Structure 1
């Protein structure tokens, strides 16, 4: 009889573990992301690079988003593609001068990127694809991929503009302001090379989820892919709020 009851208990424990595993498998917080591929004539850097929009919808779906989900699996956050827009930049009066300013912008002596380029990038976005402040408080996140966003810059969460985060598919951050090169789509997480497009987007979305540059050799600093416990708690709480979970 004791053996019989022991078998029952074991079976019940196995069943509980399977239920827990099922629940754990469903615990991912799903967040919607809209990716804007900003198209225009090639932007010409003073050092010679012709910086075009080379990232494709296939790159986003098959390479960038899976890598982002791998990175954010630490916090059980999963990014779902709400849409990918091939978006021509807005060609308003003086837009060429604004692009030239963006291309030539540099960091100051304290390493801060030029904030004056952010409203210029914002002006190049089509207003019909922007979200309102109310919408931006809900479950929709925007990433704008431009050809270039400034010397030694690779990404920015645009706080004054409702976190319409921007990244560049050309960068000279890794070579400290030399001739820009195509940004890597991904790189091995165990061997930081120079930061990939997927990592940069993940980093900027970390800012949108309430994280700051509060660690060394991690996702929210200049190198690495890790999130610490505090960052996981903060980002998860904000993700749950935004998703309504």
Structure 2
């Protein structure tokens, strides 16, 4: 059943009651180093600094998740070398040349290639692990394990141009209303996937932009999403 805009408004932005406890979850940021990628002549490296993540990005992520009563703290944010297998350059090329939707249909191997570059020894099981790479494929900004503890985001993007122009640096944060998105919103969105939230059906009408997507992109969470995310957050907290 499709949601009418008025109904969707009723279910968005109410948040948890003051009596509900704040759930705190740790994030380990992996600022990957060692990859230089080139797309449409744009040379890209990881330009984000630890203080960007512990400062404005974390503050914005927590602002977005505040209605759910979920707060994130940085367990660690530091540069980290990528693994360098013999086919390192070929793996980067897979990512550089991947197209939107290709992996879902024919299997571009984009996420598998990225996975071979991430050092599992640096992952913390008790935290949500967010990896920052220069670029993760045409028009992609992030992906995550549904219900898991790993997310990968790019710090360069060509989503706004639909892959027609060279990638540009993402904004760290973006004031509402959302126009092109930001690193903080992408991280908040991918953390939503870690907390078991999925993309809403784009046919669901909404006059409010939603964090998890759908007909209109934005920052809001539904009451159902809040309940589901809190349930998952408690499980993560118990690990």
Q: Shorter-chain TM-score category?
A: 0.7 to 0.9
Residue in structure 2 matched with residue 220 of structure 1 by the alignment: 212
Residues of 2 paired with 1:194 and 1:130: CA distance?
Answer: 30
Q: What are the Cα deviations for residues 149-198 of structure 1, in whole angstroms up to 9, with x where unaligned?
A: 000100001459x542100000001110021000111101x311111100
Between structures 1 and 2, the one with greater helix share: 1
Instruction: State yes or no: 1:144 paired with 2:131.
Output: yes
Residues of 2 paired with 1:110 and 1:98: CA distance?
Answer: 15
TM-score by length of 1: 0.80
Instruction: State yes or no: 1:117 paired with 2:110.
Output: yes
Residue in structure 2 matched with residue 96 of structure 1 by the alignment: 89
Kindly name which structure, 1 or 2, has the bigger radius of gyration based on alpha carbons.
Answer: 1
Residue in structure 1 matched with residue 30 of structure 2 by the alignment: 36
Residue in structure 1 matched with residue 13 of structure 2 by the alignment: none
Q: How far off its partner does 1:111 sit?
A: 8.2
Q: What are the Cα deviations for residues 187-210 of structure 1, in whole angstroms up to 9, with x where unaligned?
A: 01x311111100001101101101
Instruction: State yes or no: 1:175 paired with 2:168.
Output: no
- Secondary structure (helix, strand or coil) at the match of 1:35 reads strand
1:195-210 aligned at under 5 Å gives the runs 195-210=181-196
Task: Give the number of aligned pairs.
Answer: 214
Q: Are 2:30 and 2:79, in contact at CA under 8 Å, matched by a contact in 1?
A: yes
Instruction: State yes or no: 1:57 paired with 2:50.
Output: yes
- Secondary structure (helix, strand or coil) at the match of 2:27 reads strand
TM-score by length of 2: 0.82
Q: How far off its partner does 1:214 sit?
A: 1.6
Q: Are 2:44 and 2:134, in contact at CA under 8 Å, matched by a contact in 1?
A: yes
Structure 1 alignment gaps of length 5 or more: 1-22
Instruction: State yes or no: 1:74 paired with 2:73.
Output: no
Instruction: State yes or no: 1:164 paired with 2:156.
Output: no
Structure 2 alignment gaps of length 5 or more: 1-16
Q: Runs of 4+ in structure 1 displaced over 3 angstroms?
A: 23-26, 108-115
The RMSD of aligned alpha carbons is: 2.5
